[in-house]
Amino acid sequence: EPEVTQTPSHQVTQMGQEVILRCVPISNHLYFYWYRQILGQKVEFLVSFYNNEISEKSEIFDDQFSVERPDGSNFTLKIRSTKLEDSAMYFCASGTPRASGPYEQYFGPGTRLTVT
């Protein structure tokens, strides 16, 4: 069964450094998402991406964040200058519209980002 994959599984970085989190969505999906989950808290939406552009973003997704689909398979989240409060589990998700209506979002295993 196809699944969303993410690399790395764990990233440790120093405050102020740039990080790129990588995701390979399910191959025939058209919508791509990033969410994050700070330890002990709920999963929060960051951004959705469709047709090579951001379709929706949250207030968390400020100028420090960017997303890109550099080729036909990868979907990346870049944090330009990490802060301590960016430490979280970052989940990539993908989905594709159905003729019948609503569709599921399938999540990857996550990348645990630790900012020191």
Partner 1 sequence: SQQGEEDPQALSIQEGENATMNCSYKTSINNLQWYRQNSGRGLVHLILIRSNEREKHSGRLRVTLDTSKKSSSLLITASRAADTASYFCATRIQGAQKLVFGQGTRLTINP
With respect to partner 1, which residue has the nearer C-beta, 82 or 94? 94
Choose the stretch contacting partner 1; rule: CB under 8 A; options: 12-20, 53-61, 69-77, 80-88. 53-61
The one-letter code for the residue type at 69 is R
User: Would you count residue 101 as binding partner 1 (CB under 8 A)?
Assistant: yes
With respect to partner 1, which residue has the nearer C-beta, 25 or 110? 110
In the chain, DSSP assigns E strands to 5-7, 10-13, 19-24, 31-37, 43-50, 53-57, 65-68, 75-79, 88-95, 106-107, 111-115
Choose the stretch contacting partner 1; rule: CB under 8 A; options: 13-21, 49-57, 70-78, 80-88. 49-57
Is the preceding omega at residue 8 within 30 degrees of 0, hence cis? yes
Find out whether 9 and 90 touch, Cβ atoms under 8 Å. no
User: Would you count residue 66 as binding partner 1 (CB under 8 A)?
Assistant: no
| Distance, CA of 73 to CA of 3 (rounded, Å) | 13
With respect to partner 1, which residue has the nearer C-beta, 9 or 81? 9
Q: Closest separation between CB of residue 13 and partner 1, Å?
A: 19
Residues whose CB is less than 8 angstroms from the CB of residue 10 and which lie 6 or more positions away in sequence, other chains included:
111, 112, 114
- Give the residues lining the site for partner 1 (CB under 8 A): 31, 33, 35, 41-45, 48, 50, 55-56, 58, 89, 91, 93, 101-110, 112
